[in-house]
């Protein structure tokens, strides 16, 4: 049991070290030696857990995908689908800013050539946004004449933009920038009944 725990911890530090090295050096240039050194394990230990750099990149993306699923699940309160969406965008940007695994996971899926076996994090995010906006439409929380699809085009594009721009300048993933975005969007997206209850800065304690 102790041995299993140690193995899980080693695997975890390798994934985190890989994320940090990919972010600093890029996937192609990153060497397995600098990853194992950063994780404080031997090359042999690395190869015991991961057969290739590709496998490490995949593990980084899979961990980011799990964090993203958790953001979709846990940021939902009792304030309706639109507030759920606002809260989830705050949680996503905050984790991109603070969690090297999330940042590297999204970076890995950016730029050419796309890795053939890559996890589609943006596709996962897009699917989630579309679903939560369909929920908002079903609740009658969308403004007259605004469909869930119209809204999701703008929200998916803008959040992918914040993610990208935030890699170069953290101002773009800040809570203040995101609140400014929602202050602009919510009066267009939300029904007159839903709008007064919505908080553009999010309702999560972390904000």
Binding interface with a second copy (CB under 8 A): 22-26, 28-29, 107, 110-114, 122, 146, 149-151, 153-154, 156-162, 164-165, 167-168, 172, 177, 180-181, 183-185, 187-188
Q: In this complex, which beta carbon is closest to a second copy, that of residue 44 or of residue 113?
A: 113
To a second copy, the closest distance from the beta carbon of 137 in angstroms equals 14
> Which CB, 41 or 129, lies closer to a second copy?
129
Taking the C-alpha atoms of residue 73 and residue 92, their distance in angstroms, rounded to an integer, is: 12
To a second copy, the closest distance from the beta carbon of 171 in angstroms equals 10
Peptide bond into 71 cis (omega under 30): no
We find the least distance from the C-beta atom of residue 104 to a second copy, in angstroms, to be 8
DSSP 34-99: HHHHHHT--HHHHHHH-SSHHHHHHHHHHHHHHHHHHHHHHT--SS-HHHHHHHHHHHHHHHHHH-
Longest dimension (CA), the chain: 61
Residue among 44 and 168 whose Cβ is closer to a second copy? 168
CA-based nearest residue to 98, from 176, 40, 170, 25: 170
Question: Minimum distance from CB of 28 to a second copy (Å)?
Answer: 4
| Per-residue tokens: 188 | 């267009």
Q: Which is nearer to a second copy, 25 or 70 (CB)?
A: 25
In the bound state with a second copy, the residue whose beta carbon lies nearer, of 131 and 164, is 164
Q: How far is the CB of 53 from a second copy (least distance, A)?
A: 13
- CB 142, CB 148: distance < 8 Å: yes
Which residues on adjacent β-strands are paired with residue 142?
A: 190
């Amino acid at each position: 049991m102790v041995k299993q725990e140690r193995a899980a911890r080693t695997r975890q530090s390798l994934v985190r070290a890989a994320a940090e090295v990919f972010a600093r050096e890029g996937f192609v240039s990153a060497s397995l030696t600098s990853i194992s050194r950063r994780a404080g394990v031997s090359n042999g230990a690395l190869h015991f857990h991961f057969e290739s750099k590709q496998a490490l990149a995949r593990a980084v993306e899979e961990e980011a995908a799990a964090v993203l699923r958790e953001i979709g699940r846990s940021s939902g309160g009792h304030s309706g689908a639109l507030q759920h969406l606002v809260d989830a965008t705050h949680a996503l940007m905050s984790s991109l800013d603070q969690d090297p695994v999330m940042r590297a996971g999204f970076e890995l899926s950016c730029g050419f050539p796309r890795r053939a076996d890559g996890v589609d994090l943006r596709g996962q995010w897009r699917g989630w946004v579309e679903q939560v906006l369909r929920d908002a439409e079903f609740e009658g929380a969308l403004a007259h004449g605004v469909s869930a699809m119209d809204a999701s085009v703008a929200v998916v594009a803008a959040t992918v933009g914040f993610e990208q721009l935030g890699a170069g300048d953290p101002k773009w993933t800040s809570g203040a920038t995101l609140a400014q975005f929602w202050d602009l969007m919510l009066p267009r997206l939300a029904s007159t009944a839903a709008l007064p209850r919505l908080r553009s800065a999010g309702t999560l304690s972390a904000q």
